[in-house]
Amino acid sequence: MARHVLPSVDSTMNEAARLAPGLSGSAWIFAHEQTAARGRRGRDWRAPAGNFSATLVMRPEGGLAQAALYSFVAALALEAALAHVAGPHARLSIKWPNDVLLNGGKIAGILLESLQGGAQLAIGIGVNLAHAPPRNELEPEAMPPVSLAGESGMVVPPEEFLPMLAQAFAHYDRQFRDYGFDAIRNAWLARAARLGEEITARTGAQTYRGTFETIDATGALILTGPEGRRAISAADIFF
Protein backbone atom coordinates (compact mmCIF):
# COMPACT_ATOMS: atom_id res chain seq x y z
CA MET A 1 0.00 0.00 0.00
CA ALA A 2 1.29 3.46 -0.88
CA ARG A 3 2.49 5.83 1.84
CA HIS A 4 2.96 9.57 1.49
CA VAL A 5 5.15 11.06 4.25
CA LEU A 6 5.12 14.83 4.76
CA PRO A 7 7.15 16.95 7.20
CA SER A 8 4.24 19.37 7.70
CA VAL A 9 0.79 19.92 6.21
CA ASP A 10 -2.33 21.91 6.99
CA SER A 11 -4.33 18.72 7.48
CA THR A 12 -3.84 15.15 6.31
CA MET A 13 -7.57 15.13 5.52
CA ASN A 14 -7.11 18.13 3.25
CA GLU A 15 -4.11 16.47 1.63
CA ALA A 16 -6.18 13.31 1.15
CA ALA A 17 -8.79 15.30 -0.75
CA ARG A 18 -6.09 16.86 -2.92
CA LEU A 19 -4.41 13.52 -3.71
CA ALA A 20 -7.52 11.33 -4.02
CA PRO A 21 -8.26 11.97 -7.71
CA GLY A 22 -4.81 10.66 -8.67
CA LEU A 23 -4.83 7.56 -6.47
CA SER A 24 -5.50 4.21 -8.10
CA GLY A 25 -5.62 2.29 -4.81
CA SER A 26 -5.40 2.76 -1.07
CA ALA A 27 -2.78 5.07 0.45
CA TRP A 28 -1.71 6.31 3.87
CA ILE A 29 -0.95 10.03 4.11
CA PHE A 30 1.26 10.71 7.13
CA ALA A 31 2.48 14.06 8.43
CA HIS A 32 4.97 14.81 11.20
CA GLU A 33 3.01 17.99 11.92
CA GLN A 34 -0.44 19.40 11.11
CA THR A 35 -1.08 23.12 11.30
CA ALA A 36 -4.86 23.16 10.76
CA ALA A 37 -6.10 19.76 11.88
CA ARG A 38 -9.78 19.19 12.58
CA GLY A 39 -11.93 16.68 14.37
CA ARG A 40 -15.61 15.76 14.18
CA ARG A 41 -18.09 18.55 13.39
CA GLY A 42 -15.26 20.90 12.46
CA ARG A 43 -13.74 21.01 15.93
CA ASP A 44 -10.07 21.93 16.22
CA TRP A 45 -7.64 19.05 16.79
CA ARG A 46 -4.23 19.89 18.19
CA ALA A 47 -1.51 17.99 16.33
CA PRO A 48 1.96 19.10 17.46
CA ALA A 49 5.16 17.37 16.43
CA GLY A 50 5.54 14.07 18.26
CA ASN A 51 1.88 13.14 17.97
CA PHE A 52 0.53 10.86 15.27
CA SER A 53 -1.43 12.30 12.33
CA ALA A 54 -2.43 10.28 9.29
CA THR A 55 -5.27 9.70 6.86
CA LEU A 56 -6.03 6.52 4.98
CA VAL A 57 -7.65 6.93 1.56
CA MET A 58 -9.42 3.81 0.32
CA ARG A 59 -12.21 2.59 -1.94
CA PRO A 60 -14.72 0.76 0.28
CA GLU A 61 -17.09 -1.85 -1.05
CA GLY A 62 -20.77 -0.97 -0.89
CA GLY A 63 -22.41 2.41 -0.44
CA LEU A 64 -22.10 5.19 2.11
CA ALA A 65 -23.75 3.15 4.88
CA GLN A 66 -21.10 0.46 4.47
CA ALA A 67 -18.34 3.07 4.37
CA ALA A 68 -19.53 4.56 7.67
CA LEU A 69 -18.88 1.24 9.40
CA TYR A 70 -15.17 1.74 8.81
CA SER A 71 -15.11 3.97 11.91
CA PHE A 72 -15.44 0.73 13.91
CA VAL A 73 -12.73 -0.98 11.85
CA ALA A 74 -10.41 1.96 12.44
CA ALA A 75 -11.17 2.06 16.17
CA LEU A 76 -10.32 -1.63 16.55
CA ALA A 77 -7.08 -1.15 14.62
CA LEU A 78 -6.13 1.83 16.78
CA GLU A 79 -6.86 -0.07 19.98
CA ALA A 80 -4.75 -3.00 18.79
CA ALA A 81 -1.80 -0.81 17.78
CA LEU A 82 -1.91 1.09 21.07
CA ALA A 83 -2.12 -2.14 23.06
CA HIS A 84 1.08 -3.21 21.33
CA VAL A 85 3.02 -0.16 22.53
CA ALA A 86 1.31 0.89 25.78
CA GLY A 87 2.33 -2.09 27.91
CA PRO A 88 0.35 -4.79 29.75
CA HIS A 89 -1.10 -2.51 32.43
CA ALA A 90 -2.71 0.02 30.08
CA ARG A 91 -6.51 0.15 30.21
CA LEU A 92 -7.73 0.68 26.67
CA SER A 93 -11.33 0.98 25.54
CA ILE A 94 -13.34 2.42 22.66
CA LYS A 95 -15.91 5.19 23.16
CA TRP A 96 -18.78 5.25 20.69
CA PRO A 97 -18.63 6.24 17.95
CA ASN A 98 -14.95 6.84 17.26
CA ASP A 99 -12.65 7.68 20.19
CA VAL A 100 -10.05 5.47 21.84
CA LEU A 101 -9.51 5.85 25.58
CA LEU A 102 -6.44 5.08 27.65
CA ASN A 103 -6.90 4.81 31.42
CA GLY A 104 -10.22 6.64 31.04
CA GLY A 105 -8.87 9.59 29.03
CA LYS A 106 -9.09 10.31 25.32
CA ILE A 107 -5.88 9.40 23.50
CA ALA A 108 -7.11 9.15 19.91
CA GLY A 109 -9.87 10.24 17.57
CA ILE A 110 -11.13 9.18 14.16
CA LEU A 111 -12.75 11.26 11.43
CA LEU A 112 -14.45 9.86 8.30
CA GLU A 113 -15.16 11.88 5.17
CA SER A 114 -16.32 10.74 1.74
CA LEU A 115 -14.34 11.81 -1.33
CA GLN A 116 -15.00 11.79 -5.06
CA GLY A 117 -18.76 11.63 -4.63
CA GLY A 118 -18.53 8.70 -2.26
CA ALA A 119 -16.25 6.59 -4.44
CA GLN A 120 -13.41 7.01 -1.95
CA LEU A 121 -13.26 7.25 1.83
CA ALA A 122 -10.82 9.25 3.93
CA ILE A 123 -10.19 7.95 7.45
CA GLY A 124 -8.34 10.52 9.53
CA ILE A 125 -6.60 9.33 12.70
CA GLY A 126 -4.97 11.43 15.38
CA VAL A 127 -3.16 9.96 18.40
CA ASN A 128 -1.67 11.80 21.36
CA LEU A 129 1.58 9.86 21.43
CA ALA A 130 3.72 12.56 23.06
CA HIS A 131 1.43 15.43 24.05
CA ALA A 132 -2.13 15.92 25.29
CA PRO A 133 -3.83 19.30 24.83
CA PRO A 134 -4.41 21.41 27.95
CA ARG A 135 -7.81 20.72 29.49
CA ASN A 136 -8.72 24.41 29.50
CA GLU A 137 -8.58 24.49 25.69
CA LEU A 138 -11.36 21.93 25.38
CA GLU A 139 -15.11 22.08 25.83
CA PRO A 140 -16.13 21.89 29.51
CA GLU A 141 -17.64 18.40 29.29
CA ALA A 142 -15.06 16.92 26.92
CA MET A 143 -13.26 13.72 27.86
CA PRO A 144 -10.00 14.49 29.68
CA PRO A 145 -7.17 14.18 27.14
CA VAL A 146 -4.18 11.95 27.80
CA SER A 147 -1.02 10.98 25.95
CA LEU A 148 0.77 7.67 25.60
CA ALA A 149 3.96 9.13 27.05
CA GLY A 150 2.14 10.70 30.00
CA GLU A 151 0.17 7.57 30.91
CA SER A 152 2.67 4.82 30.21
CA GLY A 153 6.08 6.48 29.96
CA MET A 154 6.47 4.92 26.51
CA VAL A 155 8.02 7.12 23.83
CA VAL A 156 7.00 5.98 20.36
CA PRO A 157 8.00 8.03 17.30
CA PRO A 158 4.99 8.64 15.06
CA GLU A 159 6.73 7.15 12.01
CA GLU A 160 7.19 3.88 13.96
CA PHE A 161 3.53 3.82 14.97
CA LEU A 162 2.35 4.03 11.35
CA PRO A 163 3.32 0.47 10.28
CA MET A 164 1.79 -0.96 13.47
CA LEU A 165 -1.49 0.82 12.77
CA ALA A 166 -1.43 -0.06 9.06
CA GLN A 167 -0.91 -3.75 9.87
CA ALA A 168 -3.73 -3.75 12.44
CA PHE A 169 -6.06 -1.95 10.04
CA ALA A 170 -5.32 -4.45 7.28
CA HIS A 171 -6.20 -7.29 9.69
CA TYR A 172 -9.59 -5.85 10.67
CA ASP A 173 -10.31 -4.75 7.10
CA ARG A 174 -9.91 -8.40 6.02
CA GLN A 175 -12.24 -9.47 8.85
CA PHE A 176 -14.82 -6.95 7.67
CA ARG A 177 -14.59 -7.95 4.01
CA ASP A 178 -14.56 -11.71 4.70
CA TYR A 179 -17.08 -12.01 7.54
CA GLY A 180 -19.12 -8.82 7.45
CA PHE A 181 -19.91 -6.31 10.16
CA ASP A 182 -20.97 -8.95 12.71
CA ALA A 183 -17.34 -9.91 13.30
CA ILE A 184 -16.34 -6.26 13.71
CA ARG A 185 -19.34 -5.53 15.91
CA ASN A 186 -18.56 -8.38 18.29
CA ALA A 187 -14.90 -7.39 18.58
CA TRP A 188 -15.87 -3.74 19.10
CA LEU A 189 -18.42 -4.55 21.83
CA ALA A 190 -15.77 -6.54 23.70
CA ARG A 191 -13.76 -3.29 23.98
CA ALA A 192 -16.61 -0.78 24.36
CA ALA A 193 -16.36 1.84 27.10
CA ARG A 194 -19.29 1.99 29.54
CA LEU A 195 -21.22 -0.84 27.91
CA GLY A 196 -24.13 -1.73 30.20
CA GLU A 197 -23.79 1.55 32.10
CA GLU A 198 -25.76 4.80 32.13
CA ILE A 199 -24.60 7.43 29.65
CA THR A 200 -25.89 10.66 28.10
CA ALA A 201 -26.34 11.14 24.35
CA ARG A 202 -26.82 14.58 22.83
CA THR A 203 -28.13 14.91 19.28
CA GLY A 204 -28.39 18.59 18.45
CA ALA A 205 -30.99 20.05 20.81
CA GLN A 206 -32.07 16.66 22.19
CA THR A 207 -30.55 14.96 25.21
CA TYR A 208 -31.20 11.32 26.06
CA ARG A 209 -30.07 9.44 29.14
CA GLY A 210 -30.14 5.69 29.56
CA THR A 211 -28.23 2.44 29.59
CA PHE A 212 -25.80 1.76 26.75
CA GLU A 213 -27.17 -1.63 25.71
CA THR A 214 -25.32 -2.43 22.47
CA ILE A 215 -24.77 -1.26 18.89
CA ASP A 216 -26.95 -2.59 16.09
CA ALA A 217 -26.16 -3.88 12.60
CA THR A 218 -25.85 -0.32 11.28
CA GLY A 219 -23.48 0.81 14.05
CA ALA A 220 -26.19 2.84 15.81
CA LEU A 221 -25.98 3.05 19.58
CA ILE A 222 -28.89 1.37 21.38
CA LEU A 223 -29.90 3.29 24.47
CA THR A 224 -32.51 1.97 26.92
CA GLY A 225 -34.10 4.64 29.08
CA PRO A 226 -37.39 5.68 30.68
CA GLU A 227 -39.00 6.07 27.24
CA GLY A 228 -37.91 2.64 26.06
CA ARG A 229 -35.29 1.45 23.61
CA ARG A 230 -33.85 4.01 21.19
CA ALA A 231 -31.41 3.70 18.26
CA ILE A 232 -29.09 6.70 17.94
CA SER A 233 -27.06 6.98 14.73
CA ALA A 234 -25.16 10.17 15.55
CA ALA A 235 -24.55 11.93 18.85
CA ASP A 236 -22.01 13.23 21.31
CA ILE A 237 -21.68 10.84 24.23
CA PHE A 238 -20.99 11.91 27.80
CA PHE A 239 -20.16 9.77 30.80
Name the residue ranges covered by the structural domains of the chain.
2-189, 198-238
83-to-55, 79, 101, 138 alpha-carbon distances in Å: 20, 6, 11, 26
**In CATH, what number does 2-189 get?**
3.30.930.10
pLDDT > 90 fraction of the chain, expressed in percent and rounded: 78
Q: Is the pLDDT of residue 60 over 60?
A: yes
The set of residues, in sequence order, having a beta carbon less than 8 Å from that of 31 and lying 6+ positions away, is 5, 6, 7, 8, 9, 12, 15, 47, 53, 54
Please state, as a whole number, how many other Cβ atoms lie within 10 Å of the Cβ of residue 233. 12
CA distance 215 to 119: 26
Q: Tell me, what's the pLDDT at 61?
A: 84
| 144-102-8 Cα angle (round to 5) | 80
The pLDDT of residue 42 is above 80: no
| Residue with more model confidence, 139 or 33 | 33
Using alpha carbons, select from 99, 197, 82 the residue that is nearest to residue 91. Answer: 82
pLDDT tens for 184-235 read: 999 999 999 999 999 999 998 899 999 999 999 999 999 999 989 999 999 9
**What's the mean per-residue pLDDT of the chain?**
92
Strands 2-6 and 27-31: parallel
Question: 150, 129 in Cβ contact below 8 A?
Answer: no
Considering only the C-alpha atoms of the chain, give the largest distance between any 2 of them, rounded to a whole number of Å.
52
The CATH number of the domain covering residues in 198-238: 2.30.30
Does residue 20 register a pLDDT over 70? yes
Alpha-carbon distance 148 to 127, whole Å?
9
**pLDDT > 70: percent of the chain:** 93
pLDDT value, residue 41: 55
Region 16-29 average pLDDT: 95
pLDDT on residue 104: 95
Is the pLDDT score of 17 beyond 80?
A: yes
Does 198-238 match 2-189 at the fold level? no
Q: What is the mean pLDDT of residues 86-90?
A: 88
Predicted local confidence at residue 65, as pLDDT: 82
- Chain centroid to Cα 10, Å, comes to 19
Mean predicted confidence (pLDDT) in 50-74: 92
Q: Is 7 helix (H, G, I), strand (E, B) or coil?
A: coil
Residue 133's pLDDT is what? 84
